[in-house]
Amino acid sequence: MRLLHVAAAGVAIAVVAGAAGVSVVGASRQSNFSSRANSLERTWTADIAAGVPERSIAPLRAQLQSSQYESPWWSPAWWTSTGASLLDDLQRRTASAWDAAMANGRADAQEALDSWTQLTQQLGSFVPASAVSQEATWPAQLQAAPTPTALAKLAAAWAGAITAARQQAQANELNAQVGDFGGVSGLMTAAQAALSTAQSDNLDAGQLQGLITTVQDDLRNHTDATQDVDQLLSAVKAERSLITLNDNVGAGVRPVMLSVDQAAAEQTPNAQSFQSQYQTAVGAFHAAMTTAQLTAVQQQISSLQSAVNQELSSDQCGHNVGSGKVITVNLTLQEAVFYQDGCEVQATPVTTGRALLRTPTGTFHVFNHQSPFQFISPWPKGSPFYYYPSWVSWVMEFAAGGYFLHDAPWEPSWQYGPGSEDSSGASHGCIHIPTSVMGWAYHWTPDGTPVIISS
């Protein structure tokens, strides 16, 4: 019986010894864990102070505080684990939070640098030289910034500097622009001219008249006119843009008119529709007062021009005018078309005979080529039909009595076409061909070529 008591005592001693060993290990692990955890806490506090958002750290802190490793050293949690994997993961996520905060800070700072680039692109030389010198140091500052807070301070400082530089640059630009007008008085003259043009062209003058009056009052009363001058300057620019657009649309009307007339002269399938569309577009142009209205007309004219060009190209051949070379002239349209075996090879606006001396209609044939040629008036100087001796480069006679196709260097190119027969450049019965076309026509047309003139 004594031996059993001794054995039991031995087992008890062993158990106690084992428990003591486990306790020592648990205490050591808990101590190491606490040391690293405290280090993490200090890092988080420092990172937040340096600009890492607290919302990025809060989940990490919560995970640490709720972990099983917050248990006392004698807890079974320490028997099989050191908690190192949790701390390693938290350290990696802490580093990621720092990197993200730095990246966001650099992005904000870069946004300010991009704003600066935009400023210099927009206002260029008007940006103050002092601001340019200051900005030259920014990339180095960005590179050297050690914390998210430092980056945020840079971004805020740069944004303020850019705002100030933009305001000064805009003021410099305003002064320069007014200077381009010869000062405020020159701007006032330009404003009056823009207003007059807008009124004569039936365009919307907006607030131009009111701003002119306001600036006049400012000058008369010796009050600060800076803001009003700036508004007037913007209004003048806007009105000039509107006038330019109106002029551009107007310049596009004649080419499409000539194309539509050519289609009518060639009797293409949609010629009548094109003429109707053209009249609608012209009516809309005369009624247009705003940028939106003029832009709509411009698109309308462009679409019509494209449609006419496509049809003239697809319908170039198959015209029932006879074989060989043929020239047709439509007196109403003031349009000549040159055909080769039923295919149109050239077309041009023309100017024919004036009132009382209209160009005859019918079918004729070219029978005489001369280059150069001098016209001498058969009417005496007292006659309203008299003209001074006039040289031309090319003539092709098609009817007895002195009826020619010829160039007319005295007639401006914009005058040819519908209505030119009643203009100052109208002929005495001949057919004026633009110089650029007449040189070609003279060599293209042999004697005997039919000239079919219709009303």
* 357 in the same domain as 300: no
Average confidence (pLDDT) over 255-269: 95
* 376 in the same domain as 273: no
Among 75-79, 80-84, 234-238, which range has the highest average pLDDT? 234-238
* 87 in the same domain as 54: yes
Between the CA of residue 378 and those of 112, 175, 444, what are the distances in Å?
81, 64, 30
Q: Is residue 120 part of a domain?
A: no
**Confidence band of 14 (pLDDT split at 50, 70, 90):** very low
Q: What is the pLDDT of residue 9?
A: 41
* 436 in the same domain as 387: yes
Cα distance between residue 187 and residue 230, in whole Å: 10
- Residue range 88-123, pLDDT digits in tens: 899 999 999 999 999 999 999 999 999 999 999 988
* 342 in the same domain as 302: no
* 393 in the same domain as 425: yes
* 396 in the same domain as 307: no
Tokens of 406: 């010829």
Q: Which residue has the higher pLDDT, 232 or 31?
A: 232
Average confidence (pLDDT) over 360-371: 97
Q: What is the pLDDT of residue 226?
A: 80
Q: Which residue has the tokens 């870069």?
A: 110
Q: Is residue 140 part of a domain?
A: no
Given 283, 314, 345, which residue is the final one in a domain? 314
* 436 in the same domain as 373: yes
Domain assignment of residue 64, given as a range: 2-102
Cα Dmax for the chain: 169
Number of domains in the chain: 3
SS3 446: coil
Q: Is residue 399 part of a domain?
A: yes
CB atoms within 10 A of CB 100: 14
Cα distance between residue 60 and residue 64, in whole Å: 6
* 444 in the same domain as 329: yes
Determine contact, residues 294/245, Cβ cutoff 8 Å.
Answer: yes
Q: Is residue 239 part of a domain?
A: no
Torsion angle of the four alpha carbons 414, 415, 417, 419, in this order, in degrees rounded to the nearest 10:
140
Q: What is the pLDDT of residue 195?
A: 96
* 438 in the same domain as 334: yes
Question: What pTM does this model have?
Answer: 0.59
Nearest to 219 by CA among 232, 234, 237: 232
**Confidence band of 74 (pLDDT split at 50, 70, 90):** low
pLDDT at 28 exceeding the cut of 90: no
pLDDT at 21 exceeding the cut of 80: no
Q: Is residue 306 part of a domain?
A: yes
* 307 in the same domain as 376: no
The percentage of the chain sitting over the pLDDT mark of 70, rounded to a whole number, equals: 91
Given 49, 74, 102, which residue is the final one in a domain? 102
Determine contact, residues 250/294, Cβ cutoff 8 Å.
Answer: no
**Confidence band of 13 (pLDDT split at 50, 70, 90):** very low
Q: Is residue 297 part of a domain?
A: yes
* CATH code of residue 442: 2.40.440.10
* 355 in the same domain as 298: no
Given 295, 314, 333, which residue is the final one in a domain? 314
Q: Is residue 388 part of a domain?
A: yes
- Residue range 392-443, pLDDT digits in tens: 999 999 999 999 999 999 999 999 999 999 998 899 999 999 999 999 999 9
Average confidence (pLDDT) over 309-327: 94
Q: Is residue 443 part of a domain?
A: yes
